[in-house]
Structure 1
Amino acid sequence: MIILEFRYKAAGDSSILMELDVGIDKDINKLIIHLSNIIEEKTSEGFGEVIIGYRSLLVQYNPLTMSYYQAVEKLKQLKFAENNKSHEKRRHIEIPVLYGGEVGPDLESVAIHNNLSPKEVISIHSEAHYLVYFLGFTPGYPFMGGMSKRIATPRLENPRISIPPGSVGIANNQTGIYPVESPGGWRLIGQTPLRLYNQQAKQPFLLRAGDSVTFKEIQIDEFNEIKKQVELGDYIPVIKIDNNNNIYTDSQKGGISYL
Structure 2
Amino acid sequence: MTLTLSYPMVRNVGFDGVLVTFAETMSDPANRAALSFRAEVERLDLDGVLETSATLGSAYLRLDPARVTHADMAGTLKELLKTRDWYNTPLPSGRKLWRVPTVYGTDLAPQLEDAAQAAGLSPTEAVRRLSHSKVRVLTIGFAPGQPYLGPLGPEFNIPRLQDLTPMVPEGALVLAISQFVLFSGPTPTGWRHIGQTAFRCFRPDMTETFTLAPGDELLFEPVSRDDLERIRANNDDGLGGATFQEITP
Deviation (angstroms), 1:122: 1.3
Structure 1 pair 16–233 and aligned structure 2 pair: CA distance change class (3 A): closer
Do residues 12 (structure 1) and 17 (structure 2) align? no
Quote the residue 1:38 is aligned against: 40
Picking from 198, 221, 229, the partner of 1:216 is 221
CA deviations on 1:125-174 (whole Å, 9 max, x unpaired) are 11112122221221222222231233442111112343211100111221
Find the aligned partners of 2:233 and 2:37 in 1 and give their Cα distance: 39
Find the aligned partners of 2:41 and 2:18 in 1 and give their Cα distance: 12
Deviation (angstroms), 1:219: 0.8
Find the aligned partners of 2:14 and 2:80 in 1 and give their Cα distance: 22
Quote the residue 2:193 is aligned against: 188
Find the aligned partners of 1:36 and 1:231 in 2 and give their Cα distance: 33
Whether contact under 8 Å (2:100, 2:240) holds in the other structure is: no
Whether contact under 8 Å (2:197, 2:240) holds in the other structure is: no
Whether contact under 8 Å (2:39, 2:92) holds in the other structure is: no
Do residues 110 (structure 1) and 115 (structure 2) align? yes
Aligned partner letter, 1:134: T
Could you tell which deviates more after superposition, 111-120 or 192-201? 111-120
Could you tell which deviates more after superposition, 134-143 or 67-76? 67-76
Whether contact under 8 Å (2:184, 2:200) holds in the other structure is: yes
Do residues 171 (structure 1) and 173 (structure 2) align? no
Picking from 121, 127, 136, the partner of 2:132 is 127
Find the aligned partners of 1:85 and 1:113 in 2 and give their Cα distance: 34
Could you tell which deviates more after superposition, 91-100 or 106-115? 106-115
Number of matched pairs: 241
Could you say which structure has the greater relative contact order, defined with CA pairs below 8 angstroms and 6 or more residues apart? 2
Unaligned runs of 5+ in 1: 245-259
Structure 1 pair 237–215 and aligned structure 2 pair: CA distance change class (3 A): closer
What's the TM-score once normalised by structure 2's chain length? 0.84
Unaligned runs of 5+ in 2: 1-5
